[in-house]
Structure 1
Amino acid sequence: MEERENEGMIEAGAQQFIHEHLMTSALPSKEDFARMAALGFHTVIDLGTSRDSVSLPDEDTLVAAQGMNYLHLPVDFSAPTFEDYELLRDLLNALYPRKVWLHCAQNKRVSALMFLYNIIDRSMPISEARARLHLVWQPDETWQAFLDEALEKYVYQYI
């Protein structure tokens, strides 16, 4: 995997370097937002929901205080949708080349959606995208079914 310029600076767990303009992780600490700003991140996107066991209720304020944009796109962990993926993909494409930090509570939602993003939008081989996903977690039945349906919808019909 590529070198990360933030090595050792950001404390959030389950970090993944997607490309030079996109990093993902589990929930960052309050202190991480200042470090992200210092590293040139422009936007923080949170896919968590208010029902998550861990969250930062004032995350929008913490991020804005560092001069970054905050976007909250809650993805229901028990019911992901194609619209969740499409909205995130469109947002990431619109923000490029600005640096984005994308997170959820444990990086499970994010890593699953990045699995699709890597395949569909970055032309990454499925085996490589799957290996990156499995560095974070093995999707449960709900998420595996969603990913299988998404591959059928977005990829396999064109092969």
Structure 2
Amino acid sequence: MQDGANDPGDPVHIACWQRLSEEVTTSGHLEPADFDALAALGVRHVVNLAMGDHPQVLPDAAERFAARGMGYSHIPVPFDAPEDVHFAAFREAVEAAPRPLHVHCIMNWRVSAMFYRWHRDVLGMDEGKARAMMKRQWEPETNDYPGAAAWARFIEAGG
């Protein structure tokens, strides 16, 4: 499988689904049926970057994942104020988590920007390839959604 290409068995019905590698998948918000879909995929750990008070966040996610034998980490990242401290927590969670790993937020925008920096700054991935993976979900520099400018600054930081 080529990095960034979905597998035939991927649950592409999950909002904003994206496969980054054989061991890492991402998405937007999760629905109740998605917990079983991730378990069937063999996911061992899930990281959530959405704010806990967002209306699309399922408040009992940790318990739902635990019931299916999956670990869960919640790193709330304010959409309009991502900071390096959030990236540090993301990096720590991603590097420590067992694989397969699934990382999600609401629209897969926080996640794609975090992985862009992780691919570029931590793994040394070519900037163009890292950017192309992020752009499958969004491009903060050209998006006029409130908060996008903060993400444009965030992705340019580091390096």
Measured after TM superposition, the shift of residue 67 of structure 1 is 1.3
Contiguous gaps of at least 5 residues in structure 2:
141-147
Q: Distance in 1 between matches of 2:126 and 2:66?
A: 37
Measure, in 2, the Cα distance between the counterparts of 1:36 and 1:89: 21
Give the letter for the 2:128 counterpart.
S
Alignment of 1:110 onto 2:111: yes
Residue correspondence of structure 1 range 37-48 to structure 2 within 5 A:
37-48=39-50
Structure 1 spans left out of the alignment, 5+ residues = none
- Alignment counterpart, residue 50 of structure 1, candidates 49, 52, 72: 52
Q: Once superposed, which parts of structure 1, at least 4 consecutive aligned residues long, lie more than 4 Å away? A: none
Aligned to 2:76: 74
2:67 maps to which residue? 65
| Distance in 2 separating the partners of 1:20 and 1:121 | 18
More helix by share: 1
Q: Which residue of structure 1 aligns with residue 19 of structure 2?
A: 17
Q: What CA distance in whole angstroms lies between the structure 2 residues aligned with 1:38 and 1:82?
A: 34
Question: Cα deviation per residue 1:14-61 (whole Å; 9 max; x = unaligned)?
Answer: 122122211110012211111211221111111111232421122112
- More displaced 10-residue stretch of structure 1: 103-112 or 83-92: 83-92
Percent same amino acid at aligned positions?
A: 29
- Indicate if the aligned counterparts of 2:10 and 2:41 stay in contact, CA closer than 8 A: no
Judge conservation of contact 1:10–1:32 (CA < 8 Å) in 2. Answer: no
Higher mean Cα deviation, 10-19 or 43-52? 10-19
Superposed CA deviations along residues 122-145 of structure 1, whole A, max 9, x for unmatched, are: 222111111221111121211101
Counterparts of 1:90-105 in structure 2, within 5 Å, are 90-96=92-98, 98-105=99-106
